[in-house]
Chain A
């Protein structure tokens, strides 16, 4: 079956630090991969996506590259801001209409 594993948090960084949140997946075929962000007290927002191997999704300074050889989709940002503090979810879609989510990683950015 499908599964998504992401690093446990919380991840605490100082403002302007480099961010990496690891995400690996298990799936048959060729899934699409997503990062969602959840700000405190809110629902999930789609942050970025990649639909095939070697695609790079990017948005708001965040990037993630679909690596089929390592079954990974790590999220990166070169310089985080306090406003990036949130919970980040890696997810995959593989046929049907359901998303499989990772456990979420809480990011806390301190001024």
Chain B
């Protein structure tokens, strides 16, 4: 099946710093990528949907200035957590779909962010 690579798998940073997470589709072109946040023992919360070459669409309650999403190419989307604080600590997961006619999402392995 299609492979989505997410990097880094774990990051620990100081409060106030910014962290960038990359999501790459390795063997297909991802017209749409999604970013989710998962709290401990909880389901996934969709943060935003990003289409290549256009601005991301954020879900209600997600701060677009805090969670910057860039989808500059058909194989790469990045999520930057700006000025991270301890409450941003979470598990972030990306997913991608191949082609506008497809609806099956392929997920990355996730990034665990810990903000000290």
Contact = CB atoms under 8 A, between A and B. Distances in A.
A42 to B, nearest CB: 5
Nearest to B112: A41
Contacts of A93: 103
Contacts of A102: 43
A99 B36 CA distance: 11
Interface of B: 1, 4, 6, 32, 34, 41-44, 46, 49, 93, 95, 97, 103-110, 112
11 contacts: A41-B112, A42-B109, A43-B93, A44-B95, A49-B104, A89-B43, A97-B32, A99-B46, A101-B44, A102-B43, A103-B42
B109 A43 contact: yes
Interface string A32-49: 100010000111111001
B41 to A, nearest CB: 7
Contacts of B93: 43-44
Given A43-B110, A89-B44, A97-B32, 8 more contacts: A43-B6, A45-B107, A46-B1, A93-B103, A97-B103, A98-B46, A104-B41, A106-B41
Contacts of B6: 43
A101 B43 CA distance: 7
Interface residues of A, number: 19
Q: Which residue of A32, A43, A102 has the most chain B CB atoms within 10 A of its CB atom? A: A43
Given A101-B43, A101-B44, A104-B43, A32 B106 contact: no
A32 B44 contact: no
Contacts of B106: 46
A46 B95 CA distance: 11
A29 to B, nearest CB: 13
Contact of B49 (A32, A43, A49, A98): A98
Contacts of A41: 110, 112
